[in-house]
Amino acid sequence: MKKRNGEWRTSSIRQRVRVGVALLAFAASWRIGPASAAPAPGAGPVVYPHAGVSVAGVSAPDSAVIWWKRTPFVDLDALAPMLDWRVVWGPGGVCTLSMADGPGQAGSVQAGPAAAHAQAAAPMAVSSGPLPFSPSVRSKAGQGVPAARPVTIQGPGWKLASTLLMTRGRRYVAAPALAALGVAVSVRPASHAVDLTPLSLLLPDHLWGSVYVAGVVLNSAGGRGPGRAAVVNRSGAVVVVNTDASGAFSVWLPTAAPAANTAAVAAVRGAGGSGNLPLAAVAGVWTADDGWTGEWLPVQSGHPAPVVVQADTRQAAVAGRIAAAGSAGLVRAVSIRDVLTHVHYYAPVGADGRFALTLPEGWYEVYAALTDGGPVLLMKPFAAKGRTALAVQLPSIPSSGILKSSHVQVAAGDSQVTPEDLVAADVIFEHVYPEVSGDLGAHLSAPLSLTLYSGPDTYQQHFAAEGYSADEAKRLAQESAAAYENGSIAVDLAAWGAVDPVNVIAHELTHALLAQLSQRLPSWANEGIAWHEGVRAELDGSPEVLLRQGVQWMQWAELEEQDRDGGLAPLGASDPLNSSYNVESQDYFAVEQWIERYGWGRLMGYVRRYDADASALQSAIGETFDAFAAQVAAAIDALAHRGSSTAGPGAAGTAPADATAAAASAGGNGAAGSGWSLTLKILPGGPRALYVQAPGGACTQVNGLVPGQTYTFTCTEEGQVRTPAGLTVNALPAMQTVDSQDWFVGVTGWDGPFPRQEFELASASGQPFTVRILLYGAGGSVEHAYPATAIPAGVQLIALQTGGTAAAGTS
């Protein structure tokens, strides 16, 4: 069930129906040149016992990295429990893999193109300190080589030829083999640290092979430093790779993914400018000075030389035409969303269906067409680079009250539900289904029933039909935005102004799929996992940490307040629909704590084993539920009483020290460190002035901004503003806002349909976070509100800081 007050604080704003894209397509300015980063080790093997191996951010215990023939090998025995894999070693060098207590998979045979082969090599070398074990040597027939031999990794119906390195009973498999099995393997060259990112919980139905991408990330000024690169394969699966201190990175990832997105594939092909489909592309890069910028760096095959990717923001001219289908109403405007920052751009559509707009080069999606009958969601990814032409086809609008597709049947619960509502729900469902089903390792055997209700009065009828009393049905309708019961989902459309519809659908779909894995799963795990999947779907492939933090802290700020007031019950001890706070936020926090400490694989292993094993939780993480619940309570308490300088879950890291240089302004003279700061970048064509309004209404205009420059502003707890030297300020009358307790940063007088655009920001327990973007129409009312880290007027939020010290959204 999705709590009505679950995601955004309730307001009178009814957002337009929105949905995100989990499978990316990207493009923007890019530059290629020879990389000067140190190459990976050569022939080897070379052992790095302390390099560090992690699975989805969770450190793997006692697991070394062995480099051989420029390829990292990792300890499969140590990593298998974290991936929730069962590993059985048999005669003849055969390794059988299956999901722990999960279903078997079938498929075909294909070896990764970059897989190492067992050939003569130099003696084993040891680097970075002594090994915790002594290397032993086994020979391939007649050859005195290190402990390397061919191995066949197989599951039910599939095989993969690769190489196995062995040392004292520890078995290491190559990165390309893991990539062919759906696990991306990224490396920070300087430290040789290895990060594994499972792209699918289940072992593959077939083997995809692997592709290798290596490069160096530079900021827009050509400088080096820690950064990130978003790399996408040809079916849209995205891996965010951390670079080392010199900006260098490398990654092996699958050439495909469990559920290919044909629109993403078409966008990649089109952006490539030829019929040859790239195996992967660098989709975007992040630097502390520039935030996220879109890129386009196609990778065809093989082991290409490292390339240099420089963050750069150039403008693209997009011209498109929308063709209507069925009984679609007149299209008035089109909404286009940046996949990285989630900022929306709007363009009016003429009577002939044509539209045009200019925006920064990058990865986008044609998000929605605004018609006389309401928004029609499109979800079509494309790459904007230079002059870009788009042809957009509207989906058919159903003439009846039912719409059927591959995995869902959407029905109108009352006469006020429009055909456009049915299309929106169907597009959302089919969009989130591949990722949610892949994460959980469960699939629908038949289309799920989803019924839409126009408001709480008719939504209440759903619960009455399920057998609840009149009072119970009324309470459930008032408290929830959606519910899954007895094999069907019910949604109150009126609640979509306060809770993101993508989040809602993914949340309820998760409940439906979890029901296939466990009939007795505790509510805290059931709701917490559903929240995790809902938030992940809402983030929709965006690698922007500030965006994720904003969605999370909207939940956790309430938990901290409850904890300080002594009203927070133990995990699992409260009725979600009869509590003074949103209990589901606590469940979500607990699941995020589990994932951070023990990984997703162990969580899903616990889910699968719960019904048959009373000690499933202790078997999964080595402690009792009471001990785990105590850890969760201690973590919430630490956040609630941490002060303004301590980081929390997913909290921001540290940006360059020079970003904190600020001078006192007319807005006030609060001491440095007494509040928090934000760092904004003015994009090409961006504003020369903006305003900052503090809680209570004190409003300051900041003048003298220069496009391409980055500025840090400090906001004190007393509601004062400190601006960088060289800018001028003056007081403005207070502007009407949607929440007098939050901060607002924005611009007025902008050309187009939204002359006023602003960031809504908040701070809780010293943790600043994004609330949403607000776009105001010519009449002064809010026309669109959504979570993002940029506004279309040309301002991008690249860091939020505690205590007045710049701290970028890194993880």
Residue pLDDT, tens place only, 154-203: 887 788 888 888 776 778 889 989 988 889 999 988 888 899 988 876 67
729 three-class SS: strand
**CA 110 – CA 806 distance, rounded (Å):** 48
Model confidence at 461: pLDDT above 90:
no
Of 38-42, 88-92, 444-448, 536-540, where does mean pLDDT reach its minimum?
A: 38-42
Look at 787 and 18; give whichever has higher pLDDT: 787
Q: Tell me, what's the pLDDT at 302?
A: 54
DSSP conformational letter for 683: P
What are the structure tokens assigned to 625, written together?
């539920």
In this prediction, residue 300 has a pLDDT band, given cuts at 50, 70 and 90, of low
Q: Tell me, what's the pLDDT at 528?
A: 97
Greatest mean pLDDT among 45-54, 119-128, 454-463: 454-463
DSSP conformational letter for 723: B
Q: Tell me, what's the pLDDT at 135?
A: 43
Greatest mean pLDDT among 98-107, 293-302, 383-392, 607-616: 607-616
Model confidence at 716: pLDDT above 50:
yes
User: Which of 5, 19, 158, 187 is closest to 94 using CA atoms?
Assistant: 158
- 541: number of CA atoms within 13 Å, CB side? 32
788-to-282, 479, 775 alpha-carbon distances in Å: 22, 27, 12
Host H or E run for residue 502:
helix 501-517
Q: Tell me, what's the pLDDT at 109?
A: 25
Of 528-532, 572-576, 790-794, where does mean pLDDT reach its minimum?
A: 572-576
Q: What is the pTM of this model?
A: 0.84
Mean pLDDT of the chain: 79
**CA 318 – CA 406 distance, rounded (Å):** 32
Of 290-304, 634-648, 775-789, where does mean pLDDT reach its minimum?
A: 634-648
In this prediction, residue 410 has a pLDDT band, given cuts at 50, 70 and 90, of very high
Query: Do 112 and 179 touch, CB atoms closer than 8 A?
Result: yes
How many other C-beta atoms can be found within 10 angstroms of the C-beta atom of residue 42?
A: 12
**CA 810 – CA 29 distance, rounded (Å):** 23
Q: Tell me, what's the pLDDT at 789?
A: 97
Look at 125 and 582; give whichever has higher pLDDT: 582
Backbone φ, ψ for residue 674 (5° rounding): -85, 0
- Could you report the per-residue pLDDT of 651-700, keeping only the tens digit for each? 333 222 222 222 223 333 333 345 889 999 999 889 999 999 999 899 99
User: Which of 663, 536, 511 is closest to 592 using CA atoms?
Assistant: 536
Q: What is the share, in percent, of the chain residues with pLDDT greater than 90? A: 38
Model confidence at 643: pLDDT above 80:
no
Q: Tell me, what's the pLDDT at 4?
A: 56
